[in-house]
Each structure stands twice: as C-alpha cells, then as structure tokens.
Structure 1
Amino acid sequence: MLKQTTVITDQTTNLHSKIELNYQSIMLELAQYLIRKPSITPSDQGCCDLIGERLESIGFKLEFLNKNRVSNLWAKRGGGHPVVVFAGHTDVVPPGQNAKWDTPAFIPVIKDGFLYGRGASDMKGSLAAMVVAVEQFVTLYPQHQGAIGFMLTSDEEGIALEGTKHIVDTLLARNEAIDCAIVGEPTTELKLGDSIRIGRRGSVNCKITLHGKQGHVGYPEQLINPIHKSSRLIHKLASKRWDMPSRFFPSTSCQLVKVHSESGAMNVTPADLELCFNFRYSPKNSFSKIKAYVEKKIIKYGLKADIEWDHEAEPYLTKRGFLRKSLQKTIQKECGLKPKLTTGGGISDGRFIKQIAKQVIEIGPSNKTIHQANERVSIAELDQLRHLYFKLLEDLLLK
C-alpha cells in the first residue's frame, strides 16, 4: 500500500513539472512575440491588442483608453476586493544609433540560457510573466476572490503624460479603487527577489539660462562671460547637503546634466549659457524648497537668468501592509531570500499609480542590461518571476 502511494505521488509530481514546463514555454513564446514588435515609445505596434485578446479569452473585460499616439489598456476580471493590478509598459527605448548589437535588436535570440532583444528585461519579459501567471491562476482558480486588473501603456519610456497617468485619471474620475499594484520594472540586482522597490524619489528638472554680454576675448573688461559667472552656482548646487538620508531614502542629490553655450568663434565669449540640472529628492525635501533655494542663490550671486522648472514626480513610499508582507513572505519561501527594500533607480509609472492604489510595489528581473546593446534576461529567472507572480496571486486572492 505504501509503495502504491509513493508511485501516485511521483506521478503527481511529474505531472506538475510538465505543467510548469508548459507554462514556461508559453511565457517564452509570448516574450519573443512582444520583442519582435519594434514598439519604440510611444508606439505600441499591436502589443496591447495581443495581450488584450489573451486576457479577454479568460474573462477579462477590456477598455482601450488610447490617447493620441499612445495605446493604453485597462483590463479587469472579477469584482469586490482586494483588487490586484499588474502594471507595465509595452514601449521600449530605441536600439541606439551606434550601439553594437550582436544580433538585431528586434529579433529575439535564445543563447546560453538568455533571451536577447530590446525589451527583454525592460519590460516585455515581465509582461509575458505576468500574463501567463494570470492565465495559469485563472485556469486553476476560476472562482477566485476579488479582482485582477492589468494597466498597460506605450508611454512610459517617453513623456509619460498620456499613458498610465491618463488611465489613472480616468479611473479616479469614476471612483474606481485599487488595493495593490505590482509593477514589473526590472528590480533584481543579482538574484531574483533580492531587491524590490517600495517607493521612488521625487524628480525635478531645472533649466537655467544665464545671460552675460558677448565680447572679444582680448578685451575682458568689455564683456561678461556667463560661463565664468556660473561656477559658484554649479559648485553650490552640486556640493550642497540638501538633507539627511532616511531608512529607505538617500539624501537629495543634484546633478548637472547639460551645459551649452555658443559664441561662433574662438575669440568671442558667449552671450548666454544654458545649464540643465536634475534633482532627485526624498520626502524630507520638496519641489518648493528646492525651487526657492535655487532662485535665492541666483539672486545672491548677482546672476541674470531665466529659469524653467519641470516637476516630474513626487516621492512616495509604500509602508508595510498586506502587499508588502505578502510579497516578502512569497519571496522568502520561493526564492530563499530576504528582499532588500529600496527606493533607488529612476522614476517609474508607480508615481501615477500610487494616486489610486493603496500599495504599489515593483518587482521584476535583472536590471543589468536595460537600455543597453544586447539587452537580455535569464530564461530561468523569467520563469521564476512568472512562478512568483502566480504564488503572490494565490496568497492575495485565495484567503
């Protein structure tokens, strides 16, 4: 009797392994299909349509909230709470004019256990993992609690004003609520699950045009060189300690990202100098404080200047709650890791989603090759991500 029971267990295990391998194959096929689409922002190239068809076939209701050239998809299945939403983008950055790709950027290649192609890790691989994880979950649990949603856009790598922001504004206008959102941005440093984003820093762009007086370099008494005049301001902004780091946020930082002047000749000083700064700031700081400080220093140093401000994002933090606890528990169980909680990296569409979702967390594959030539993702890691998403859904929607 014991021997027969063991045989049955082995058969069940083998069947489970075959099912997992099948879902891995389905996920890999979908990821390759998406990579073949040259969806350079804000173009979608039919990615949302394809994903929408797959979701509709398993009971999702679709809304295409397109705006101008941007494709946006809001899809939802089920009702009640919790509402668990997967969010991501179908657009990618260009391959790069002088980038040295070993194979064409939009022809997916499998080599040495990696999937190569633009968007493999940022973030078409994550999209494939999300979709197939949900397909697997719905097949096994068609009567699950709560609701599952998808929020997809082709405007994340670009201006990002007609994509996720537009979807969120639409949902807010009709009082829809989201309990938790999982964004598939690449967060892994060395091993899947070692790092998750629980927030992001704020971002401010500042363009300062300093005005001087053009003149002949041989007559310095007759000119005002705005390049020379800029040195104190640049040093002050770059070296200032804006605030102290906190548990999850580093100190606010300032980076000079562009310097431009033009005089037309080597013996002529320019009339104007353009300086572009970016500030990444923590919740201890604010846009208004940064703006006031920069403008105060310009006046103090006697500079004539025009200033343009672009407040890209406010900082946000997902405090410990059911999503954070569930994801940490799932990662520890499935990956054998205690994830590092971070707010690093650039900015993401999480800054819009947090306006409607109670909790927003980003978890995705390796970020080592994003926006680079020969972008790639480990197939094993991608499949583990699919399994992680699936297990997270079990923990959130089967209680």
Structure 2
Amino acid sequence: MQLTEILSELISFKSITPKDGGSLKFLSDLLKKKNFTCTNLNFGNKKNNTFTTNQFASLKNGNGPHICFAGHVDVVPPGNLNSWSSNPFKAVIKNGKIYGRGACDMKGAIAAYIVAIYNFLDVNKNFKGTISLMTTSDEEGNAKFGTKKIVEWLKKNKIKIDFCIVGEPTNPKLVGEVAKIGRRGSVNCQLTVKGKQGHVAYPKNAINPISDLIKYLNKLQQPLDRGNVNFQPSNLELTSIDTGNVVDNLIPEKISAKFNIRFNTNFTSQGIKKIIKDRLNSVGKNYTIKFNVSGEPFIKESKKYKSFLKKSVKEIAGIDLKMNTSGGTSDARFISKLCPVIEFGPVGKTMHQINENVKIKDLEILSDIYLKFLEKFFSR
C-alpha cells in the first residue's frame, strides 16, 4: 500500500481515546505480511471506560541492535463537526494535503514508518537485528494504561531495546527542523484558601479568602530557576481561579486556584512540591493544596543514534537538525525508562485543530528519513 492509502485507512478508524477503533488490527495485518509477530496488550477496565488496546509488534532477524518506533493511534475528539470542511474520519486529499483527525497527530508518522519499514525490508532481507513497533490507544488521555504499561511488560519480559523513535509532530514549519531529546516534567496543582461567607455590605462579619489567595499567588510567581544547558527555565502558569460564586453580593467561603508547573532536570516532582509548600508557608498556613504529577523531566539520548538521525535528515531534507527539550509531555517520558529515545515526526502546525491536515510531501520526506535512519542503524 502507498503512504496515502495507509494514512487514509488509519484516519477512517474512529479511535478517540482510549479506543483504537480497529486501527491496531489494520496495523497488525500490514506488519504480519512482513513476518512481524504482533502481541496485543490490553489493560484497564471497560466498566469505567479505561480499557485500552495496545500492541507490540517485532521482527527479529538474527543478533543485532533493536530499533523501536513508538506512537499512538488514539486521537482527540473532533469537536463541532459542522466546523469541519469534511468528515474528520474520512480522509480527503486536497491541494497536496491529506485532511482528517489524526493526520498530523500522529497517524501520519505511523504511516510514514510503516512505509519506511516495508521499503527497508524489500532491499535488506538479511539485516541483523530487530525492528519493533510500540503502539497504544491511550496517549491523548490519562496515559495510565498505554505506553506506560507496555514498557512495564517489556521490562518484565526482559525485552531489550537499543533505541526508540517516537513519531510525535516535532517540526514547526519544515520536516527536519527539530527533534526532541527530552521533555520537562509537569505537575498540576490546586490551591484552596478558606474564609468565612458573608454579605458584602457587612465585611466585618466575614473573612474574604481572596485577599489571602492573592498573597499566596504573588509568592508563587517568583522564578523557580534559570534553566540549564539542555532545558529552558521552569515555569509556573496560573490556569483558573474559582470561588463558585453565582451572585455579586456574597463574600465567598473559599476560593481555589489551579496552576501547572513545567520543570526541568534541576528538580524532581518531590523537590517542586517542597518549594511550593515552603513558599506558601512563608505567607501563611490557611490553605490546602493537591498535587498531580503528570511526568518527571528526562533527557536520555545516544550520541551515536542522534548522529545517525542528524545525518539522515541532512541527506534527505538538506536541513541541519536542531534538538531541544521544549514543548509538552509525551509518551517518551515512559520510554526513557527503557532506552534512549528521540521524538521526531511531521510538522505539528494543525494538530488538534479543526481541519487537521498534513502535507503529503512532508510525510514522504519523513518516511525517507526514517528509511535512511534504518539503513544507518543496521549498517556494519
């Protein structure tokens, strides 16, 4: 199958997190044609809508290094269908682009590395080593039963991977501009301050918690650090403030503020929690706070394989690949506990947007880069 055919089929599966919609069977059917062994790894519970389908497919041909391509078939909901120019789950090719939910994030990359694997195996039947694909339907959601569980299964079964490429859309404008060699950690926080409810005309009979909250938030706005050689400075961003008030003449009983902290390798999540509590305690103790850690910061790279990717990009796209750690969290945070990992995929300009799309030429370039990388990876 051609790249556009594979991607069109993938888009047709309504794989909204955590459902794969039949897309993993489609992938396994493609891979079995090249003698891959496909193992379904299902976790979660259907009763609470956490049931997640995952797949680990591998082709071992003698002794040699093991390269893994990782990705997700799940997509975010399409939103208002009337805002789309076409059915989000029916691929449309127009003006050199393919439109549909997941075209950019990240079914396009999956199609690109399937084609790269096919092209590699057609010419290199006697390669020595292992090629695998790690695919989940739980990346866009809580990610509790997806790649995290696959990595645990791989460790339990003592399956060693030498290097992994995650096909997330990393490029801002052109394929070959940027790869991610790490990511910052993320902590979501909810700060609640209590007061005493009362009428706004009688403030002496009430305690307004908003005044205290402002003091706490001012203290939290102080810089966390200046960054380091691989990471930008950590940052705290306020995302919401809520009193639950529906009238204008009521001093609220309590007020809550939500904020997110993206932190670099200067800290761990435990260290961040301590800093936040210390800062709050320096102002007062009329608060409660809840933390939810989404991921720890990481950077885990291989100089050799990083060089292979840079050379592959230069040879195919004619671009000097830059590597950084900016952006949000991804499943690479789980894979980093298993092996060196780099994220490299298509242009991410339209991911999660109405009329999500990707340039066909970009995917062809991406697939050729993946192919060139495979050739270098298994060269002796």
Q: Deviations over 1:239-274 (max 9, x none)?
A: x22111222210000011122211342211211212
2:47 maps to none
1:66 alignment partner AA: N
* Maintained 8 Å contact 2:220/2:280: no
Residue in structure 2 matching 1:173, options 145, 156, 161: 156
1:54 alignment partner AA: L
Moved more, 383-392 or 205-214: 205-214
Q: Which has the greater radius of gyration?
A: 1
1:66 maps to 42
Residue in structure 1 matching 2:322, options 333, 340, 348: 340
Q: Please show how residues 185-224 of structure 1 align to structure 2 within 5 Å.
A: 185-224=168-207
* Maintained 8 Å contact 1:207/1:276: yes
* CA deviation after TM superposition for structure 1 residue 303, in Å: 4.0
2:260 maps to 278
2:275 maps to 293
2:372 alignment partner AA: K
Report the TM-score when normalising by structure 2: 0.95
Residue in structure 2 matching 1:80, options 63, 88, 98: 63
2:52 match: secondary structure:
coil
1:98 & 1:133 partners in 2: Cα distance?
A: 33
2:103 & 2:81 partners in 1: Cα distance?
A: 20
* CA deviation after TM superposition for structure 1 residue 286, in Å: 2.2
2:284 match: secondary structure:
coil
2:371 alignment partner AA: F
Q: Please show how residues 43-54 of structure 1 align to structure 2 within 5 Å.
A: 43-54=19-30
1:41 aligns with 2:17: yes
2:240 maps to 258
1:394 aligns with 2:375: yes
Compute the RMSD of aligned alpha carbons.
1.4
* CA deviation after TM superposition for structure 1 residue 98, in Å: 7.7
2:130 & 2:346 partners in 1: Cα distance?
A: 25
2:2 match: secondary structure:
helix
Identity among equivalent positions (%) equals 38
2:372 match: secondary structure:
helix
2:247 alignment partner AA: A
* CA deviation after TM superposition for structure 1 residue 99, in Å: 7.5
* Maintained 8 Å contact 1:204/1:278: yes
Q: Deviations over 1:211-248 (max 9, x none)?
A: 1111111111222222222112222323x221112222
Q: Please show how residues 145-164 of structure 1 align to structure 2 within 5 Å.
A: 145-164=128-147
1:329 maps to 311
* CA deviation after TM superposition for structure 1 residue 104, in Å: 2.0
1:134 aligns with 2:117: yes
1:113 & 1:125 partners in 2: Cα distance?
A: 14
Structure with greater helix share of residues: 1
1:124 aligns with 2:107: yes
Distance change >3 Å, CA 98–CA 220, structure 1 → 2: farther
1:396 alignment partner AA: F
Report the TM-score when normalising by structure 1: 0.90
Distance change >3 Å, CA 98–CA 117, structure 1 → 2: closer
Q: Deviations over 1:357-377 (max 9, x none)?
A: 1x1001111111111111110
2:346 alignment partner AA: P
1:113 maps to 96
Q: Deviations over 1:316-342 (max 9, x none)?
A: 113452210100111111111111111
2:163 match: secondary structure:
strand
* CA deviation after TM superposition for structure 1 residue 106, in Å: 1.3
Residue in structure 2 matching 1:367, options 348, 364, 370: 348
* CA deviation after TM superposition for structure 1 residue 91, in Å: 0.2
1:258 & 1:242 partners in 2: Cα distance?
A: 20
1:227 maps to 210
1:220 & 1:294 partners in 2: Cα distance?
A: 30
Residue in structure 2 matching 1:92, options 52, 56, 75: 75
2:8 maps to 32
1:148 & 1:257 partners in 2: Cα distance?
A: 42
Q: Deviations over 1:125-168 (max 9, x none)?
A: 10101111111111211221110010000000000010000000
Count matched residues.
373
* Maintained 8 Å contact 2:301/2:342: no
1:157 match: secondary structure:
coil
1:101 aligns with 2:77: no
Structure 2 segments unaligned to the other structure (5+ residues) = 45-50
2:288 maps to 306
* Maintained 8 Å contact 1:81/1:179: no
Structure 1 segments unaligned to the other structure (5+ residues) = 1-24
